[in-house]
């Protein structure tokens, strides 16, 4: 509780669990790292870094399912994910 702030307006700290999403593939319990979207009229599938917010017209995927993603014949897969550095490399840079 914050003094002078009504209880319903008190900020609630976000935890990492609140900011993670699970892979959309059935029976996969891995953390999502990419978002898949598509446009039927252009026969294009986009694979992007995980979107900040979930959306009902996209699918969040774990690294395993994002890497193994394939598209129907005649469709184009546009992998626009930002490369992620391994934790050890990121720690050396940071």
What pLDDT score was predicted for residue 20?
A: 83
Is residue 27's pLDDT more than 60?
A: yes
**How many domains, in total, are found in the chain?**
1
Residue 54 lies in a domain: yes
Q: Which of 18, 44, 42, 23 is nearest to 34 (CA)?
A: 23
Residue 46 included in any domain = yes
Q: Contact at 8 Å (CB) between 19 and 27?
A: no
| 37 has a pLDDT exceeding 90 | yes
Of 59-63, 65-69, 82-86, the least confident: 82-86
Q: What is the pLDDT of residue 17?
A: 45
Closest CA to 29 of 62, 67, 69, 68: 62
Do the beta carbons of residue 60 and residue 54 sit within 8 Å?
Answer: yes
Nearest alpha carbon to residue 66 among 31, 42, 39: 31
Range of the domain at 65: 21-82
The percentage of residues in the chain with a pLDDT greater than 90, rounded to a whole number, is 65
Domain-embedded: residue 50 = yes
- The answer to whether position 6 is within a domain reads no
Is 46 or 19 the better-scoring residue by pLDDT?
46
């Amino acid at each position: 509780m914050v003094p002078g702030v009504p209880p319903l307006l008190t900020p609630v700290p976000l935890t990492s669990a609140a900011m993670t999403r699970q892979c959309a593939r059935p029976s996969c319990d891995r953390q999502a790292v990419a978002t898949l979207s598509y446009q039927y009229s252009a026969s294009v599938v986009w694979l992007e870094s995980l979107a900040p917010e979930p959306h009902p017209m996209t699918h969040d995927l774990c690294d395993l399912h994002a890497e193994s993603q394939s598209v129907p014949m005649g469709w184009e897969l546009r992998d626009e994910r930002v490369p992620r550095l391994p934790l050890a490399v990121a720690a050396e840079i940071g």
